[in-house]
Every structure is written in C-alpha cells, then in structure tokens.
Amino acid sequence: MTALFSTPKAPAAPDPVATANAQSAANAETARLQARMNMIDTYTPYGNVTYQDLGGDRYSATATPSEAQQRIISAQDEVGASTAELAKSQLSRIGEATAGQLDFSQLPALTGSNDFSADRLRVEQAILDRNAPAMAQQRAGLENQLKNQGIQPGSEAWMNSMRDLSTQENDFRLAAQASGGAEQSRMYGLQSDARQRLLSEALLQRSQPINELAALLGTGQVNVPQVNAVQTQVAPTDVVGAYDSAARAGQARYATQSQLQGQLLGGLISAGGMAAGGYMGAR
C-alpha cells in the first residue's frame, strides 16, 4: 500500500559522454567487422590473393601470380632490362643528332614570288610572239575588208571596227599576262615544296633517335596481374537511437505512473468525502 502511493521518480537523462563513447565503440567494431569480411582469400587461374592478421587491426595482403603469369612477368622483366640497356646505348646517337643547331644553309633560298618575274615575262612574251603574225594578218584583212566596202580610214565606221579589233587584241594580251602569272606561281610552288621536303628530312634525322629511345623505354613496362575481392558494406549500430528510444520509453512510463497515481488519490479522496457525509447524516 505504501508503494502504491509513493511518488514516481523521473528517469535520469542519458549521459551524452557515455552515449558518444558507446557509439564510437560500436562504429569501431563495425569497421573491424567490415574489414574482416572484405579480406577474402581469392584463388584464380591467374593468381591468388591471401590476407594475414598482423594484430592491432593491421593486416597484410599477398598477391601470388600463377606459374604461367610468373613466367610472363619474368620474360617482361628480361625484355625491360634488355631494352633499357639498348635505350642507354642510343644516348650517344641523340647527343650527336642534337649537338648543334639545324643548318638551313643547304636549303633552297626562301624567296618571294616576284623573284620569278623573269619566268613570267618569258612565258608572256612567248605567247605574244607566237600569235603576233596572226594578229597582224587579222588587222590587215580587216582594213582591206573595210576599204572594199567603201569605208574610208578616219570615218566613224572605220574607227568603230578598229576599236573592236583593238579590244580583242588587248584581251589576248591580258590572257597572255595571266598565263605568265600562273607560270610564276608554279615556279614558286616548286621551290617551296623542295625546301619543305628538305626541311622535313632534316627534322626527321634529328628527331628519329629520340623517337626510337622513347619507343624502347615504352616497351619496358611490366603488367602485374590484379585480383580484386568482393567488397561488402556493414551498417554501424545506431547506439544513440537505442539510447533515445530507451529514454523516451522511461519518460512515457513515468507519465503513465504519475497519471495512475493521481487517479487513485482522486478516487480515495472522493470515497472518503462520501463516507464522512453519511456519518454526519446518521448523527
């Protein structure tokens, strides 16, 4: 009866330091469990990976290639060593090839397009000379034709006909000049192409030993077989959530007990009042 009317005590609040320490310990244990689960000894036709516990949360992983893979690695090591020695012997060639600056004196002179003006004039004059007799014959024939038609020199009809013929002759001269310009451009292009080819050969001669050395060094790479184990994930234990749930449950239990005690006390007080009223009435 005394326990029934005793005042309920509120639960103590969780200690934050103890809660944090408990959560840290749970996280650390989860990490250890996850690491142990991920360290799976793996055996394949290409090689094996095994793990060893060194103590103190330290482990070692050992990758062991198969016999066939070990022979490949050994062969690659031998090739790498041989190519390294061969590459070393090429250093003297590189030194010789790059000892001095490139010599451009043996290349064709880099000139402007006007330097071939003589070739342009030669072609132009050759075209004009070749067609000069035909042009003179055409002019004489036109003059005879006009005279036979009764058109006198100096007349308007005569001047118009001569002007048309002069225009044709001028157009022909312009075409001859264009042909001369095309020859000038062609000669300049031939010179530029010859210079570019010689320059490319000089650069190739200079860079070829360097390219060969780079190729030899690239063959020395060794490919070690890799074996990857399946990785698993383990969620850490929610210690803080568990403590919070326990605290909430304690508070709810305390509230329920306080409410129940209040109801019991209220009922007893009401019953006592009714008994006292009956006693007074009887008197």
Q: What is the pLDDT along the chain (283 residues), one digit of tens a residue?
A: 445 556 666 666 667 777 777 778 888 888 888 888 888 888 888 888 888 888 888 888 888 888 888 888 888 888 777 777 777 777 776 666 666 666 667 677 666 555 788 888 888 899 989 989 999 999 999 889 988 998 888 899 999 999 998 999 899 999 988 998 888 888 888 888 888 888 887 777 777 777 776 776 665 454 454 545 445 565 666 666 666 666 676 677 767 766 776 666 666 666 655 555 555 555 5
Burial class of residue 210, CB neighbours in 10 A (0-12, 13-18, 19+): middle
Report yes or no on whether pTM surpasses 0.85: no
Angle in degrees, CA 114, 200, 186, rounded to 5: 30
Task: Evaluate the CA torsion angle 138, 144, 148, 149 in order and state its sign.
Answer: positive
